Structure 1
């Protein structure tokens, strides 16, 4: 089957949830539904029945990227992009049909759908991928950002304000815009701190303050890469500005310089960390995908945090739970590597290897 990680992860009642775009009918694009898997440790996963299917006029051409927001009272608001029967991109609301179910196996689409349609000046197919909401400390209302582009091919993030996740006000200012970057997909917006203990992350609604910066990330549709920048968010104006305009979103740093796209983060309240997921679209052909019966991979989840030494970039590392997959290990110390030399290492027989290497120059 065809799968992409264009859906927000979530932690709820002891389970990590991963919702992902999936074609249950084959290893090619089409009939986009939401697959659903749950885990206790981010490593071992259990597949559940489909979470969302295209069954209304407003999402009949696909249930696309979404984001989950957990309110202070525990309720979950899931916003996602639907493609209507006319191919228009709209934003939709769904909530758990049974909040007492920790596996969240059934979802109820709001009778108010669609809750958002493309505003004037935005293309009907250039309005997608709502972020997780954050609480603005200035007016105590929720904010979401949605990716788009303007007629000059500048990538941008629109900002909406809401109090009930049904009614929204489009704010007069953009969260950010960068010329020449084209359509912004899967926008992500979250705080990081240079002053917290190593590995500790911040909740999405953490207010700006001393040592707190905000990361703005966009997936660029034209080159299929994920770019981010670190900057300052002003709650009074709902604008974000990069610390260094020379490495702004789309023209500077990337999460990953391999195949890595449409990523999302979530705040893990158990590990007090921010966890990053990314979709890995493979390099083989569609014919090869059909023959093997599946296409695309989910990356190993990573913790992501500010590099406290520089303050100018993020650090990433596989979540610590990955170490539970190790069955046995070998250690090789004191190896002398000369330029161009090859040092064979007897690692025994294994189908997978996890290698840690430390070099001293």
Structure 2
């Protein structure tokens, strides 16, 4: 199909009505060591003797959480309508029927069903009353809501059933370790397991009578000890797990425990890893990747040809960082390949609005699958009005990028392609400097876009003093960019969200490329956060620039160069909604033409709903 160029003046700078939500953090202090500690808490009874603990009524909530949206002070409230709120709700991303959701917890595959547990407030669309929500799917896309899995009903989790992870034992047993906040506001680790392992839906969970199984060791503050990982089996036959903490205020650390029975634990010498200046680590993830880049590995995989990814969610900045390195299973220490890109100071899992991610090994399809939480960027007042807040990303596969050797590759699971409907193709569309080209595709609110860009040969012999980042957004022109897509835009371009590449000359004469999302003009509303997201993306000499973009109403997920760099964002347009939403190509470079080849699919809804239990007339 042909696209007709529409020549406009290059994007002009317009001051954003939004504000920047997070501040950077400074690197301070030097690495400190921790004393080896041993913690024993539980009676020495065999695993088979674990007895059921009947559930009690839920506990009370306490206070507010930093996971809640920051206040948008001094911003006049926008007059949102129910139609606008209805449009914002996603069609094929997972989110509960109503109320608040945050971290993904304990994802797993069991007897034909994928399970997702998640932090959930059953009562309001703001953080609090944290329980474990539960949903199942045959394909990671079409989800069915189940009853709550765990509620805060014990002294050791009365102030919240917080995040945790699942571990499969060799005999098929499933153990869930999770953080609870006690009646004295201490973070402790607890054990739970299915009441009936033969139940494919895993409807009922039992809490171990000996909980908590771990308490904060000496030197760790009672509120800095949380989010245990999936355990891995060491070469000595004992299990290890790590969890997040901090020491001396700013030293982010991951503690390592070993256990033979998941009741008695030993805190190993030192830490798995620590990075000064990164603050509290939470939702730590630790998993192996094959350096051939072609297969995923079980969490316990060790040996030659394997590296390990260490990821931490930084509580101070609400950003997920990762690094690739080497794990020594004898000393239980992890070392980054590149100390300059260590955890918290280098690569991000996602350069947008994304947090608390967690992977699991899908034994059904032999792949590692990544979940991540996408928070709102509007106000809590608006969330209470619409009755819901937050969603999860489309699950992503994770592999090691053996072409660069420096990063992971994230890609939407193949099952999302089952939602593709009508497709439209555009081949080698010329986009001249300063032009915007409309793409006639009809409805543009639920899309899967695959785009490839060719630019004229670049003369990078002359360097410039340009800042090497996403700049001031799509209005910030340079010789070679930005160029890309305008999603969820209205016909007059008064609201739009650019997804773009920005190639720049580095001081050494090389070319660096940044992949970015600019939400500063995504909405006319003043009471939403609007900023420019993005990061550097490696583009090899024999590669064309390519991106994939999933558009689903108020959520946009963008993947560059096969998933080397990913940016997720939330947008809240007031006019570019329903039939008014359009899609455009743009080129804001000052010196090069761009040719774009695209395939665009309209996406169906995933029709997420309650599980159809027999006799349930509410379904």
TM bin (shorter chain): over 0.9
Counterpart of 1:155?
252
Does 1:318 pair with 2:415?
A: no
CA–CA distance in structure 2, aligned partners of residues 227 and 271 of structure 1: 26
Aligned length: 357
Counterpart of 2:398?
304
Match of 2:225, SS state, is coil
Counterpart of 1:185?
282
Deviation at 1:350, TM superposition (A): 4.8
Does 1:72 pair with 2:72?
A: no
Aligned partners of 2:114 and 2:136 also within 8 Å: yes
Q: TM-score, normalised by structure 2?
A: 0.57
Counterpart of 1:169?
266
CA–CA distance in structure 2, aligned partners of residues 147 and 324 of structure 1: 37
CA–CA distance in structure 2, aligned partners of residues 187 and 221 of structure 1: 11
Higher RCO by CA contacts (8 Å cutoff, separation 6 or greater): 2
Deviation at 1:245, TM superposition (A): 0.3
Deviation at 1:152, TM superposition (A): 4.6
CA–CA distance in structure 2, aligned partners of residues 160 and 143 of structure 1: 6
1:57-110 CA deviation, whole Å, 9 max, x = no partner?
A: 000000000000011110001000000000000000000001010100000000
Deviation at 1:196, TM superposition (A): 4.8
Counterpart of 1:203?
298
CA RMSD of aligned residues (A): 0.9
Structure 1 residue ranges without an equivalent (≥5) = none
Does 1:273 pair with 2:367?
A: yes
Aligned partners of 2:293 and 2:400 also within 8 Å: no
Deviation at 1:270, TM superposition (A): 1.9
Deviation at 1:334, TM superposition (A): 2.2
Counterpart of 1:35?
133
Does 1:26 pair with 2:124?
A: yes
CA–CA distance in structure 2, aligned partners of residues 265 and 349 of structure 1: 33
1:130-165 CA deviation, whole Å, 9 max, x = no partner?
A: 00000112x111000010000151000000000111
More displaced 10-residue stretch of structure 1: 155-164 or 324-333: 324-333
Larger Rg: 1 or 2?
A: 2
Aligned partners of 1:38 and 1:46 also within 8 Å: yes
Aligned partners of 2:296 and 2:367 also within 8 Å: yes
CA–CA distance in structure 1, aligned partners of residues 331 and 443 of structure 2: 58
CA–CA distance in structure 2, aligned partners of residues 283 and 208 of structure 1: 43
CA–CA distance in structure 1, aligned partners of residues 150 and 423 of structure 2: 42
Counterpart of 1:218?
312
1:89 maps to which of 187, 192, 200: 187
CA–CA distance in structure 1, aligned partners of residues 444 and 363 of structure 2: 35
Q: TM-score, normalised by structure 1?
A: 0.97
Structure 2 residue ranges without an equivalent (≥5) = 1-98, 456-619
